[in-house]
Amino acid sequence: MSRIEAVVSDFGGVLTSPLIESFGALQRQSGIGLEEIGRAMARVAQSDGANPLYELETGRLTEADFMAKLAVALREETGRDVELHGFGEAYFAELHPNAELIEYFRDLRGRGLRLALLTNNVREWEPLWRAKLPVDELFELVVDSAFVGMRKPDPEIFELTLARLGLPGPACLFLDDLDVNVAAARAAGMQAIHFRDTPQAIAELEAALRAGAMWT
């Protein structure tokens, strides 16, 4: 196993509380369930020929246009108007920092590990999510899908992250709560851990760091 020089972390659901809790904010605000939102997104995708969430997260669709398209599709799906104004603020109001993992990352940085953040996000939400974390204190690099025009699990976003770090894949340890992103990181040559909960993630990170140290 190669010596790990950098840890690359996802944002939502890893360095924050689970995303499902924040999606509940939309349900409470609008009275619309997640299944209905999924069907509305499928309507937009069929009409536009592209998944609107993917377009939003790569900056090809603005938040305003995304919400307008979703509102139309929800009206077609439910037969009533749905108010989506202020969803970003409501979403982030329910998203809380993972204080334990953030403190662990401080410790990693103090031990000489380089830290990077790799997130699928929304351009207009950057001030909201950055306010949740000590981003500049912890991370030397932030790769945000909305600003680079690609998203996880696209291979290119992992290649870009490695290029900006100036490191080979095996020297980087990636942490994400979605299996598909973990698999994509491994395909790019990175070591990777599937985040399930904080104690499990820290234990696996420590084991990987120790294993790398033993083999150098």
Boundaries of every domain in the chain: 6-17+95-214, 19-92
Integer Cα distance of 164 and 93 in angstroms: 32
Three-point CA angle 116, 121, 124, nearest 5°: 120
Integer Cα distance of 201 and 3 in angstroms: 18
Give me the pLDDT at residue 216, please.
43
Integer Cα distance of 137 and 162 in angstroms: 20
What's the chain's average pLDDT?
92
Give me the pLDDT at residue 55, please.
97
The packing angle between helices 19-30 and 34-48, to 10°, is 90
Q: In which residue are the tokens 């083999």 written?
A: 215
Please answer whether residues 140 and 116 qualify as being in contact, where contact means their C-beta atoms are separated by less than 8 angstroms.
yes
34 pLDDT more than 70? yes
Please answer whether residues 175 and 201 qualify as being in contact, where contact means their C-beta atoms are separated by less than 8 angstroms.
yes
Query: Which residues, including other chains, have CB under 8 Å from residue 116's CB and lie 6 or more apart?
Result: 6, 7, 8, 9, 139, 140, 141, 142, 143, 161, 164, 165, 172
Helix (H) or strand (E) holding 141: strand 141-144
Give me the pLDDT at residue 31, please.
75
Token pair belonging to 94: 């329910």
For residue 4, the 8-state DSSP code is: P
Q: pLDDT tens, 44-90?
A: 999 999 999 999 999 999 999 999 999 999 999 888 887 777 788 88
Integer Cα distance of 140 and 72 in angstroms: 41
For residue 149, the 8-state DSSP code is: T
Three-point CA angle 147, 126, 5, nearest 5°: 70
Token pair belonging to 46: 């069929």
* Residue 215, number of CB atoms within 10 A of its CB: 9
Integer Cα distance of 173 and 6 in angstroms: 6
Provide the residue type at 5 as one letter. E
Give me the pLDDT at residue 93, please.
86
Query: pTM of the predicted model, to two decimals?
Result: 0.92
Q: pLDDT tens, 118-134?
A: 999 999 999 999 999 99
Give me the pLDDT at residue 25, please.
67
For residue 97, the 8-state DSSP code is: B
Q: pLDDT tens, 158-180?
A: 999 999 999 999 999 999 999 99
> Hey, which CATH number is domain 6-17+95-214, 3.40.50.300, 3.40.50.1000, 3.40.50.720, 3.20.20.140?
3.40.50.1000
